[in-house]
Amino acid sequence: MRNRICLLLFLCIFLLTTAAYAQQSLDAMVDRDIAALVATYKTLHAAPELSHHEEKTAAFFANQLRTLGYTVTERVGKYERPEWTGYGVVAVMKNGAGPTVLLRTELDALPVDEKTGLPYASKVKAQNDTGQEVSVMHACGHDIHITNMLGTAKMLSELKAQWRGTLVLLGQPAEEVIDGARAVLRDGLYDRFPKPDYVIALHDSADLEAGKVGYTPGYAMASSTSVDIKIRGLGGHGARPEATKDPIVVAAQVILALQTIVSREDSPLDPVVVTVGSIHGGTKHNIIPDEVDLQLTVRAYKEEVRKRVLASIERITKGIAVAAGIPDDRAPIVKFSETQVTSATYNEPQLTERLAAVFVRTLGQENVVKLQPVMMSEDFGYLSLDQKVPATLFTLGAVDPAKVKQSKDTGTPLPSLHSALFQPLPEPTLRTGIKAMTSAVLELMKK
Ligand SMILES: [Zn+2]
Ligand SMILES: [Zn+2]
């Protein structure tokens, strides 16, 4: 009996020291690399590129990974428009038999004119897809994600003795316009390269403190569908409404009636948003126009809910036009975008809870928080192939804790993602992200 207790004690001490040693060595490795990584982040931050134009960012990312010993393929991604180049990067490291884990970072930035005043702020201007010159900024923190991936890639290449399986690192283009994930899948991401058993990503947060990570099991972000409605009437003189079919009044009725989809048709337990974000029609006070254009965004979690909402939008719009006496050949045209659409982000609960437990061990209980889902969208969900591959996207705190406190104390909101003032705190954010991502992979691929 005594021997057994001794053995148990020895085992406990052995396991604890090994865990503590692994933790210590990861900390030491991050300490060693952090200055270089912050420098990389600042370089990337000063040189952002728009969606569909991530040429230099992708080349830099690919070269770094090649130097670390990964087998790298560039120019992965096929868009519906053949004139766009897919700047996706896929880096693979095989390390014996075991699971395949895919880590994803986005590569693109946004048409935002940076106003942070930082010494490494972007001054870049570039042409967008329609040839207009716009300012460009990494206002969503994808430069944090790229740097984080490079740091993690280095750790894992050095810690090869501690894991087995195949690691796939994806540099995904065009997330901000939500056609990048589909483009890399269309170009054979899961045929030409090892198909993952798990998919993991992180996204920085504009309100969570640097040093913390967040997780959201289940639906975390909504699907998004852009809808265009053209309400067609019969125009004429503003003083002779009886001789017209006024599309402005019909548009007003449609906008109000659409509100009943969420309030009267949808279950209160299925979150949905129907927002009319744009309305354009008419030229002058005394002219009843022929047409009014509406632009909507629809958000939902479940696919069947999304489909039902889209059907309701079409039914209500066409029904109101009929009620207004608009002839059939002038019926409203309702278009659901096939390109500005993305699926929901569903964080497979078992995987998410398993990694949250790893984060608690690596970062401490006080630095791991469970977060509420949001109705924002992202195209990460496609990489799970409609929830067939367990996937999870966790949240990386990126804001100076003093600023979070000040914001809470004064009730003044912090600059959000996509804001010209968004300013992540590089060092603690990267430290936390690299430790979290590395330990997540070591958990899933442990020997
Ligand atoms: Zn974004
Ligand atoms: Zn983003």
Instruction: Please state, in angstroms and rounded to a whole number, the distance separating the CA atoms of residues 51 and 48.
Output: 10
5 C-alpha to ligand 1 centroid (Å)? 55
Show the low-confidence residues of the chain (pLDDT under 50): none
pLDDT tens for 347-391 read 999 999 999 999 999 999 999 999 999 999 999 999 999 999 999
366 C-alpha to ligand 1 centroid (Å)? 27
Instruction: Please state, in angstroms and rounded to a whole number, the distance separating the CA atoms of residues 222 and 379.
Output: 10
The residue type found at 385 is L
Are the beta carbons of 343 and 306 closer than 8 angstroms? no
Cβ burial 96-111 (10 Å sphere, 16+ → b, else e): eebbbbbbbbbbbbbb
| pLDDT on residue 4 | 65
pLDDT tens for 251-266 read 999 999 999 999 999 9
> Two tokens at 4?
């057994």
105 C-alpha to ligand 2 centroid (Å)? 9
Instruction: Specify the pTM.
Output: 0.91
140 C-alpha to ligand 2 centroid (Å)? 5
312 C-alpha to ligand 1 centroid (Å)? 29
* Phi and psi at residue 204, to the nearest 5°: -70, 160
265 C-alpha to ligand 1 centroid (Å)? 31
pLDDT tens for 27-70 read 999 999 999 999 999 999 999 999 999 999 999 999 999 999 99
pLDDT tens for 132-146 read 999 999 999 999 999
Residue positions counted in the chain? 447
Q: Which residues pair with 74 in a beta bridge?
A: none
Any idea which ligand is nearest the CA of 106?
A: 2
**Ramachandran category for residue 386: left, alpha or beta (phi over 0 → left; psi -120 to 50 → alpha):** left
Q: Which residues pair with 231 in a beta bridge?
A: 292
302 sits in which H/E element = none
380 C-alpha to ligand 2 centroid (Å)? 10
340 C-alpha to ligand 2 centroid (Å)? 16
Give Dmax (Cα) for the chain. Answer: 102
243 C-alpha to ligand 1 centroid (Å)? 47
Using DSSP's 3-state secondary structure scheme, residue 88 falls into: strand
356 C-alpha to ligand 2 centroid (Å)? 21
Catalogue the E-assigned strands of 282-407: 287-288, 291-300, 333-342, 345-347, 368-370, 391-399
329 C-alpha to ligand 1 centroid (Å)? 40
User: CA geometry: angle at 403 spanning 402 and 407, to 5°?
Assistant: 120
200 C-alpha to ligand 1 centroid (Å)? 17
> Two tokens at 307?
């489909």
Instruction: Please state, in angstroms and rounded to a whole number, the distance separating the CA atoms of residues 34 and 131.
Output: 38
380 C-alpha to ligand 1 centroid (Å)? 12
Are the beta carbons of 204 and 142 closer than 8 angstroms? no
Are the beta carbons of 345 and 301 closer than 8 angstroms? no
Ion ligand 1, residues whose Cβ is below 5 A away: 140
176 C-alpha to ligand 1 centroid (Å)? 5
> Two tokens at 350?
């078992």
27 C-alpha to ligand 2 centroid (Å)? 27
Q: Kindly give, in sequence order, each residue whose CB lies less than 8 Å from that of residue 350, ignoring residues fewer than 6 positions away.
A: 390
57 C-alpha to ligand 1 centroid (Å)? 17
